[in-house]
């Protein structure tokens, strides 16, 4: 949780991976990016979501 909080508070990016259990996403971002990414994203869908969201210009924060 500390790694997640640090990277989102300081850098607003998923630099060091993340654990999806601690994440809440905005509905618009989740609909746009989606957690449903087929075989490519099935092993670590939370991290795959973060990489796709970041590549689409979304930023991250810890509240």
- Report which of 1, 2, 5, 3 is spatially closest to residue 63, judged by C-alpha positions: 5
d(CA 62, CA 41): 24
Question: Is pLDDT of 60 > 80?
Answer: yes
Sign of the alpha-carbon dihedral angle for 24, 30, 36, 39: negative
Average of pLDDT values for 27-55?
84
Per-domain residue ranges of the chain = 2-55
Percent of the chain with pLDDT over 90: 16
Q: Residue 51: what pLDDT?
A: 87
Question: Is pLDDT of 32 > 80?
Answer: yes
Average of pLDDT values for 13-42?
81
Question: Is pLDDT of 25 > 80?
Answer: yes
């Amino acid at each position: 949780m500390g790694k997640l909080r640090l990277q989102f508070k300081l850098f607003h990016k998923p630099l060091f991976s993340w654990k999806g259990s601690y994440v809440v996403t905005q509905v618009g971002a989740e609909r746009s990016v989606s957690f449903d990414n087929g075989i490519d994203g099935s092993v670590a869908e939370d991290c795959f979501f973060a990489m796709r969201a970041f590549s689409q210009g979304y930023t991250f924060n810890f509240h």
